[in-house]
Amino acid sequence: MSPTDTHVFFLNRISIRRNQVVSMDNNHEQDLEELELFQKHISDRFTQLLPTTGEEETLTSDDISDQMLSITWFRKLLDTYLCCESEFKAVLIIGRDSSQFSKPPLDRLLPEHLDRTVKALDICNAITNGIEVIRHWQRLAQIAVDALEQRPFVEGHVRRAKRALNTLLMSMTGEDKEQNAHAGKSAERMWSISRRGGAGGAVALPAVNHNRRAIISRSLSSNFMRSWSASKQILAMTTNLAAPRGGDSTGLGLPVYLMSSILVLVMWTLVAAVPCQERVGPHFQLPRHLVWTQPMIVLQEKIGEEWKRKEKKGTSGLLAEIQVIEKVAQNLVEFAEGFDFPVGAEKADEVAEQVAKLAEVCRKLEVGLGPLQLQVREVFHRMVRSRAEVLDVMDVVAKINTHVAC
């Protein structure tokens, strides 16, 4: 059964079972079965994101078509998040007695999860800005490709390529802050968040009068302050993120903890790959005794190994396509600095091979960044809608409790 079929089957199964009239004992057994199945789906999906033994050897190669941390891989990661999120809502809300939301541990865990969601919305906005920066890098790389594809090599073409590549490398190391800021502002204009809908992809939030929802608009409608940090935002998301114990480990506290963990992991991985002001911080700790955490822990460790191997000190990120651009750009700058006309046949072939690699990765970015950006936007919208749905249930419970107290 494909992941999509499994996802649809799971949602249908919960919907049908919750509509059946059964005893309290059967209800408890069904809840345990659903939680177990939910955890299995999480484990299976994240296991599919891990490279196989043979694929691990390709992480350092230039073949990035489907390798870990490539654009294709990140689209799979975001698909995984969206599937997990919809199953989480099914477990938590569909056919559920809403009075449980006002009882421990949900009365504490749900507000904490919703607060993490608001922080994740900020990170999605930063990722969108980062994708615009990568577009800027792709344009600079394409200038170099166009110049060095000219034959024969002449000083004017090489000089033009060198200027573009030096600007590219400066931008990747964070030295060209003005250019990066300009690219980021174009994304902010396109992705501005406000209560008004409108052009440029603005998000229309649900028309409700609720202070907790208004924080989304306030949080993302303005430009990021210089003191804003994606790593600190993720660190704040891990506050109070602890695995449920005792009786809570088999209750509704478990799926809330699980979904919060997935949310933090996905945001942490995005920040590691896409330029977001700084390098990613240390990953958060997941309990090793839970089956569904094992593939997530392996994923964290592999990304951490990539950071150590590359010894990153700048802001370029771990996206596989970025790594190829940086490597090839450095090689071509060395050629440009030592350029002497005429170029020998052997050297010309070597440069042509490097230019072909750069042209190919530019093509991959041209094709892949748009769909990736749209997917980040879909994740953003899904989080806004899901947050509103949970708040609606909590509002209903609050009104019932107020009426009973009166």
What is the domain partition of the chain in residue ranges?
68-405
C-alpha 2/C-alpha 242 separation (Å) is 32
C-alpha 302/C-alpha 224 separation (Å) is 30
Q: Are the beta carbons of 322 and 62 closer than 8 angstroms? A: no
- CA trace torsion 35, 36, 37, 41 (10° rounding): 100
C-alpha 101/C-alpha 173 separation (Å) is 47
3-state secondary structure of 93: coil
Side chain identity, residue 44: D
C-alpha 225/C-alpha 243 separation (Å) is 33
Cα 374 to chain centroid distance, Å, stands at 12
Name every residue whose Cβ is closer than 8 Å to that of residue 182 and which is 6 or more positions away in sequence: 136
**pLDDT by residue, tens only, the chain of 406 residues:** 555 655 555 555 555 454 554 444 456 788 888 899 999 999 999 999 998 765 555 455 556 767 999 999 999 999 999 999 999 999 988 877 778 888 889 999 999 999 999 999 999 999 999 999 999 999 999 999 999 999 899 999 999 999 999 999 999 987 555 555 655 555 444 443 333 333 333 333 333 344 444 433 333 333 556 678 888 899 999 999 999 887 777 788 999 999 999 999 999 999 999 987 666 667 788 999 888 999 999 999 999 888 888 765 555 789 999 999 999 999 999 999 999 888 899 999 999 999 999 999 999 999 999 999 999 999 999 999 999 999 998 888 888 777 666 5
The DSSP letter of residue 276 is B
Q: Are the beta carbons of 190 and 181 closer than 8 angstroms? A: no
3-state secondary structure of 278: strand
